[in-house]
Amino acid sequence: MHMIKLADIQGQSLSSLVCDFMICKRCGIVDRERSRIIANSQCPACHESAGIACLYFGLNISILLDLIQQSYHSATPKAEALGPQSSDVAVVLFFCALREALLNNLLAYLETGGTSTSRRNLKSKFSQLEDHIGCTWDEALREISAREGVLFDSVSNLMIEASTLRNRFMHEASGWRITRQFSTECLNNTFAVLGLFVALHNRYARPLLPIRATERASQGRIPASDAAK
């Protein structure tokens, strides 16, 4: 039986298929639990009324997902193709932008409980992430892979390779290794990338959310009664 892959899908936006993760306003867990669509339904994780469903990822993530899909399907017919194609290069560039946006989103939850924060820190974003979670990226991958029962190494390696190809293209104008096969792999793994960052949130950011809410309350940013909920 032929399994449908994301690269095979046309006529429906990629974001509508994979970007439906929701966050519980009570306990901060992120999942795709459909019951959250019903207002005030009980959260399966904390068993509290979760109010109105709130999407975890912002509009920028949905836009990047759809740009990846649109770029991929704008490919030149094979008979006319010669060398790296703009459709494949664009997929890699947007895929790398997606990784950056997801990393920014995770850092925002780790630092401020979801409020956007300045990115002026001179440290690389991955160094900032490792500072917040108290372990290296590879150690975090091993932990969440064991926790979720999913091997995230392959999608992490794909992100690293895409970043390398993006940098080579941007700084050396070399895109010969950005092939149709590689852009297909990037598109097909967009859901896996989202799942990786959701797993990181649930392991490392979720336990901090009550602390961040209390901190914001003490600074007068939200009512203390709301922080305690």
In the prediction, which pLDDT does 52 show?
A: 77
For 151, phi then psi, to 5°, come to -85, 110
Q: Please give the residue range of the domain that contains residue 210.
A: 59-227
Q: Please check whether residue 163 lies inside any domain of the structure.
A: yes
> What integer is the mean pLDDT of 186-209?
96
* pLDDT tens per residue across span 83-105: 789 999 999 999 999 999 999 99
In the prediction, which pLDDT does 214 show?
A: 55
Q: Please check whether residue 199 lies inside any domain of the structure.
A: yes
Q: Please check whether residue 35 lies inside any domain of the structure.
A: no
Q: Please check whether residue 92 lies inside any domain of the structure.
A: yes
78 against 46, higher pLDDT: 46
43: helix, strand or coil: coil
Q: Please check whether residue 31 lies inside any domain of the structure.
A: no
Q: Is residue 2 pLDDT above 50, yes or no?
A: no
Q: How far is residue 24's CA from residue 44's CA, in Å, rounded to a whole number?
A: 10
Q: Is residue 222 pLDDT above 50, yes or no?
A: no
Q: How far is residue 85's CA from residue 91's CA, in Å, rounded to a whole number?
A: 10
Count of domains observed in the chain: 1
Q: Is residue 228 pLDDT above 80, yes or no?
A: no
Q: Please check whether residue 32 lies inside any domain of the structure.
A: no
Q: Please check whether residue 87 lies inside any domain of the structure.
A: yes
In the prediction, which pLDDT does 121 show?
A: 60
In the prediction, which pLDDT does 210 show?
A: 72
Q: Is residue 225 pLDDT above 50, yes or no?
A: no
Q: How far is residue 67's CA from residue 33's CA, in Å, rounded to a whole number?
A: 26
The answer to whether the beta carbons of residues 22 and 44 sit under 8 Å apart is no
Q: What is the DSSP string of 10-42?
A: -SS-HHHHH---EE-TTT--EE--GGGGSTTPB
Residue recorded with tokens 């007068």: 220
* pLDDT tens per residue across span 109-146: 998 766 555 555 657 899 999 999 999 999 999 999 99
Q: Please check whether residue 134 lies inside any domain of the structure.
A: yes
